[in-house]
Every structure is written in C-alpha cells, then in structure tokens.
Amino acid sequence: MSLDQVVAELFPQLKRQVRGRRMVYLDSAATALKPVTVIEAVRNSLAMETANVHRGAHLLSDEATEKYENVREAVRAYIGADSRSEIIFTRGTTEGLNLLAQCLGGLILSEGDEILLSQMEHHSNIVPWQMIAEKMRAKVKFAPINDDGSLDVNAFKSMLSPRTKIVSLVHLSNALGTINPIKELFALAHEVGALTVLDAAQSISSLPIQVSALGADFLVFSGHKVFAPTGIGVLYGRKEWLEKMPPYQGGGSMIADVTEEGTTFLASPHRFEAGTPAIAQVMGLGAALEFVKNLGFEKIHNHERNLMRIADEQFAKIPGLRRIGTAPAHAHVLSFLLGNSHPSDVGAILDEQGIAVRAGHHCCQPLMRRLQIPGTVRASFSVYTSEVDIMDLSKAVMKAKDLLL
C-alpha cells in the first residue's frame, strides 16, 4: 500500500470537493494540510487544557507548562540539538530570521562586513538581512545559481572571505525544489569564521536534519510547513551564541528582574519568548513532529521520488511545457512554464479543474530575475499526494495548453 493510501484518512480536507470536482491539493510548499492528530491536539488544548504556562500557581498551569516544554524537547530531538535551551518558539521562519538579523546581526556586524546569501533565497531570508545591513553599513551578497537551479559552489566559495560574518542559505528551495549541499557549504563558511544560518522551512517535513552534522549554527522553520498550525515556528541557535544575543522583544516571561532603573533578562530560550506564547499551536507542532516521526523519512522520500518520476514522465508528453529547476539534487517541488503563457493564467485554468497550485514569483524575485522569467506555476507534493493527483494535474495542464497555446 502506498504512503498516500496509508495516510489519506488522516487528512479530513482531502474529502472536500472544489468547484464540483475532487480536490487535488498541490500547494504543500505554501502550507501543508493538517492530520487529525494535529487537529485534535489543538482542539484538546483549547477545549480541556486552557491555562497559561510558566507563571501559574495551579494544576492546570503546571500541566500546560509540562506539555509545552515537552514539545520543546521533542523539537530538540527532531533536529538533533544539544539542549532544549537552544530551542526558541517563534511565529515562523520569517520571525526567526528577523530575530536573528536584529539580534545576531546587530551584535556582530560592522561597517564593511558581508552577509552571503544565494540567488534562490525566499524574501524572508533576504529582506531582514538587507535591513540590518543598511543599519550596520554592511553588505549583502548573493552567490549565483546555475541554469538548472543548482548553486554554483565554486562561485560561492570564491565569494567567502574574512569579511563574511554570516552565511544564510535555504536547505530546499521553495521555488525550484533544489536541495543545497549544506554540509559542504557550511564547512566552507566556517573556514573563514562565518556563522551559518539554515532556512529549513521546506526541508523540515521531508529530510532528516541534524544541526551539528550539517554545521548549522542557527536554523529556522515554520510549523505549518510540517503539518502543524500556522502561527508557530522554531529558531534553533547554538547556546554559546544565544547567551550573547540581546532579546528581540521586551515584556512578560523574559525578565529576571525589572526596576525603575532597568531590566535584567532570563537566559535562553525564555529571553526570546516575550509574552503569552501560542500554546495550542505548540501542542499542534508536537503532534505534527510525532506524525512525521512515525511515518519515517525513508518512506516519505521514496513516496516523493516516485511522484516526481511520474510527473516527469507525464510532463514530457506536453508540448510547450518547460521545467524550471532541474538540479540533480531535487525534491518535492515541480515548477514549470507553459509556452509564453503567464503563470497566473495557467493557475486559473487548473483551479477551474479543482487543482490547487501556486503561480507567481513565490517570494523569490531575485531568483526570477536571474532566470529572466515573471514567475512559474508550482506544484508541490506531500505524503498525501497520490499518483492519481499527478495524472489529474497532467490532464489539466494539457487542457491549459490547448486553451492557451
């Protein structure tokens, strides 16, 4: 039995119809559907376990705090961090990167220093670094990509220097599906003394991640990409650096002592978690990571490889279709163009047939400028995607071709 058949009943939204047709959800790179275990974890937290964490003097608060911190431990184990104090809950990848840019960048950057990114980065891994670079009079540089969407490793290496203080790279491109050789790239970064940041938003649900083995000093991901609710994410940082970094926001929960003269702060992770956290969402994140763990990365990988093989075979039969992003190391994202048709026109025709894809620049405008295209149509797969979904996508794209070309 295929993986999608095993998990299909766990995803209630798959039973929906869209425009009178069976729903084909191929937008998992934007946000993943939620299994019943996650939905129930959130529902139970709201229905039966409502209480604030860390500060209560009653049983409900004690129970909520224990479960909340148990999820922190689950995240630690999931990514192979050394300590739960290295795990900070955020609203998502974007907030994690903004926190790092302001707190880490503001701490270590000086005029003339450099931050090295790549041309395939999501805007959330570009804009925060540009903002802090402008403030600190540092420079943001972009390692180029090859025509197939892979990173030009030689060019990346040549751009590293003692001026490079931060290297921040995506693990798996949301627009291309490219999987970057992070271990190799981060080793090169460390040779020049740079700190490394890994954007694991897309890889967190499909690739096993061990931060030490990859050489990541920091890592960020969003819960909603890994079957958890929106509004919750994680920032991992090496303890020695988190202890040096100032807090991102001020308020309750992150202070040691407040006087009229000033404030002292708690240690990590609490110094970076001001205010009442997203408790129910954290419970959902814990259930989501358990869901992935129970499936196993080998099964997930084999399932996605099979889907990509079928999609490649079907798309090769469609005249005028051009794949965007064909790097040898590639995962569950399939981007394409249909002749000279605008991606939004193709996406609209697919939507009429009940197929949900993404169309546009995918928050990767520098990448699209490098490729000299306005954007792409993006179909992205997950554990619940079936072979039938791929066949329906192929038929719908063929219909779009007949209408547009």
Q: Which helix (H) or strand (E) is 22 found in, with range? A: strand 21-22
Residue with tokens 């096993």: 208
Q: Select from 403, 402, 347 the least CA-distant residue to 374.
A: 347
Other C-beta atoms lying within 10 Å of the C-beta of residue 82:
12
* Contact predicate 169/152, CB 8 Å: no
Residue with tokens 């938003």: 201
Tell me how far CA of residue 214 lies from CA of 42, 167, 221, in angstroms. Answer: 32, 13, 15
Is 363 annotated in the active site?
yes
Spot the catalytic one: 155, 192, 266, 363: 363
Tell me how far CA of residue 240 lies from CA of 86, 160, 244, in angstroms. Answer: 9, 24, 7
Q: Select from 287, 321, 293, 325 the least CA-distant residue to 396.
A: 321
- Residues 192 and 134: their CA atoms lie apart, in Å, by 23
Catalytic residues: 363
